[in-house]
Amino acid sequence: MKKSLLHKPRIVRIEKVRNESNTVKSIVFKDRLCASVKPGQFSMIWIPIYDEIPMSLSLDPKSKLPMIVVKNIGEATNALHELNIGDSIGIRGPYGTSFNTGSAKRILLIAGGTGIIPLLQIAMESNQREYKCDIILGAKNIEEILFYEDLKSADCTLYPVTEDGSLGKQGLVIDLIKKSLKSDYDVLMCCGPEPMIKSIIDVARKTNIGLQVSLERIMKCGIGICGSCELSGFRVCKDGPVFDLKELNAMYNVLGNLKRNHSGKVIDFNTK
């Protein structure tokens, strides 16, 4: 397949659909470019009639085929939840930067809610790699913990944290990190709500441990042209979505405070 095809929507057939929770579904498909996705990269998913939206790409722990994992929060994600085996979606990518395990021997994965999606592949591949992973897996409650059984079967140590205590320790991810972060990790890899990410940056700044974080902003083109994902001069689609501590320091004051809306206007981060 020619490299230029990366930017053209390819129509793929859905091979499997699986409920991961009450609000989250995995959609599995075949695509040659997506089969070699690096952890943390994303694709632009076109849902005919509705919209084109960014979704992290991963590999299905069961079939090893490419998959997206979709939380139903609005029109386009609801339309994705309506699809079944044999239906089609359009796909561009994989795009963006990825988590870099490099020469790391000990990695701590930190996921809040759907934040486990871009980190899943790193955990699932740890038995074939040089590194060992611990995983802090946070959610509001046991219902919202994703891929628990798959992660348990991977060669990783799991630390679930739920706000209501229905699985693992009760509390927030950041409470557990502040209490028990060991200094023998080479790198922390993180995805989740921005306030959580900001607290983790604060922790990482006080240690010699590396940090890589996946961020989200409104994306339209996904390839660095339109500027809708701009964050402190970075284009999240092209310079990210995975950023290192140096880059995160440069955008620190904006994180959790400001974002752009669908019209490109800078607005308060908590505005819906």
Ligand X SMILES: Cc1cc2nc3c(=O)[nH]c(=O)nc-3n(C[C@H](O)[C@H](O)[C@H](O)COP(=O)(O)OP(=O)(O)OC[C@H]3O[C@@H](n4cnc5c(N)ncnc54)[C@H](O)[C@@H]3O)c2cc1C
CA 125 to CA 61: how far, in whole Å?
9
Nearer to ligand X, 43 or 209 (CB): 43
The answer to whether residue 73 forms part of the interface with ligand X (CB under 6 A) is yes
User: Choosing among ligand X, ligand FES, none, which partner's interface includes residue 3 (Cβ < 5 to 8 Å by kind)?
Assistant: none
CA distances from 28 to 16, 55, 61, 87, 144 (A): 5, 13, 11, 11, 20
Task: Report, in Å, the least distance between residue 97 CB and ligand X.
Answer: 10
Residue 46 in contact with residue 90, Cβ under 8 Å? yes
Closest CA to 58 of 4, 8, 103, 111: 111
Q: Nearest Cα to 69, choosing from 100, 109, 37?
A: 37
Q: Give Cα 9 to chain centroid, integer Å.
A: 21
Q: Is 241 one of the binding residues for ligand FES (CB under 6 A)?
A: no
* 267-270 contacts, C-beta under 8 A, 24 or more apart: 269/194
**Selected binder of ligand FES within 120, 235, 241, 251 (CB under 6 A):** 235
Q: Which of residues 152-211 bind ligand X (CB under 6 A)?
A: none
**Among positions 94, 222, 240, 241, the unique one binding ligand FES when judged by CB under 6 A:** 222
In the list ligand FES, ligand X, none, the entry touching 42 (Cβ below 5 to 8 angstroms by class) is ligand X
d(CA 251, CA 99): 18
* Piece in contact with ligand X (CB under 6 A), picked from 15-23, 99-107, 172-180, 215-223: 215-223
231 touches ligand X (CB under 6 A): no
Residue ranges binding ligand FES (CB under 6 A): 219-222, 224-229, 235, 237
Residue ranges binding ligand X (CB under 6 A): 42, 51, 53-56, 69-71, 73-77, 114, 117, 216-219, 241, 272
